[in-house]
Amino acid sequence: MITFQDKKLYIFETAQGLAQSLASEFLLKLIDWQNTREQIHIALSGGKTPLMIFDELAEKHAEGGREPDWNRIHFYWGDERCVPPDSSESNFGQAWDLWLNRIDIPEENIHRIQGENNELLEAKRYSNELKSCLPLKDNIPRFDWIFLGIGDDGHTASIFPNRLNHFDSRNICEYATHPETGQKRITITGKVINNARRISFLVTGSGKKDIVKEILLNEDSARKYPSWHVKPEAGYVEWWLDKEAASNIDSYI
């Protein structure tokens, strides 16, 4: 792990190596946190990058012979596409099919965004669910751990550069539209993201190397990216990167 300005970087030779290491860290941390926290609230990210983590976790339920008490773990999503849960586009659906259906977790501990609902009503419903299920800090839901990806345009969750106001929204969740595909989305807002106790970006592939450099080196051009605005109140932002995604920052770290 490298501390770089106000960030923690974990850089791996391969995406597979990243997935294996993060799966172990994830299970160990859940087991550790259960010594001091009654309930643990995790927000999963969507897109393709997390799928390799889900594959690892589907195989490796336990770490060091111990498995988290899934009765005390709650899963949420940082964003969701406005599609049915069984759609191949569903962030919940991917996590469920690859991993969550294989662990012994109560159904009520899986708090999916109901993408099949009306987007405006669902943004409100999910906001209320987060406020009633999570501990609040400054009256904002506080996740124990949020996983995030970065889009090629610098979006994170479903906060897009053309709607940067969603990052600073007073709301807990917003309804968004993907600027290229027009796909309707529900997303948590920046104040929920920055309120989390732990935030981890998962970024792999050479396609992300330019944007990773802009953001990590704090270049002026990065300010237009919602991902740049992820600056938690407390603690670090972690960047879990493979060598390809980190290839433009080699000479700076």
The binding site for ligand 6PG (CB under 6 A) comprises 45-49, 79, 91, 149-151, 155-158
Least distance to ligand 6PG, CB of residue 87, Å:
12
Q: Which of 79, 100, 103 is nearest to 91 (CA)?
A: 79
Our CB check for ligand 6PG shows the closer of 150 and 173 to be 150
Our CB check for ligand 6PG shows the closer of 39 and 247 to be 247
Q: Which amino acid is at 89?
A: E
CB atoms within 10 A of CB 50: 23
Nearest residue to ligand 6PG, scored by beta-carbon proximity: 149
Q: Which of 16, 75, 80 is nearest to 49 (CA)?
A: 16
Tokens coding 76: 């949420």
Least distance to ligand 6PG, CB of residue 152, Å:
7
Our CB check for ligand 6PG shows the closer of 91 and 200 to be 91
Our CB check for ligand 6PG shows the closer of 45 and 248 to be 45
**231 in Cβ contact with 216 (< 8 Å):** no
Least distance to ligand 6PG, CB of residue 72, Å:
25
Tokens coding 97: 């099919």
Least distance to ligand 6PG, CB of residue 111, Å:
16
Q: Which of 109, 112, 84, 88 is nearest to 98 (CA)?
A: 88
Least distance to ligand 6PG, CB of residue 226, Å:
9
Tokens coding 100: 């969550």
Our CB check for ligand 6PG shows the closer of 48 and 223 to be 48
Is the alpha carbon torsion for 208, 211, 213, 215 positive or negative?
negative
Tokens coding 187: 């997303």
Least distance to ligand 6PG, CB of residue 53, Å:
11
Helices 15-33, 49-59: crossing angle, 10 deg rounding: 60
Our CB check for ligand 6PG shows the closer of 91 and 109 to be 91
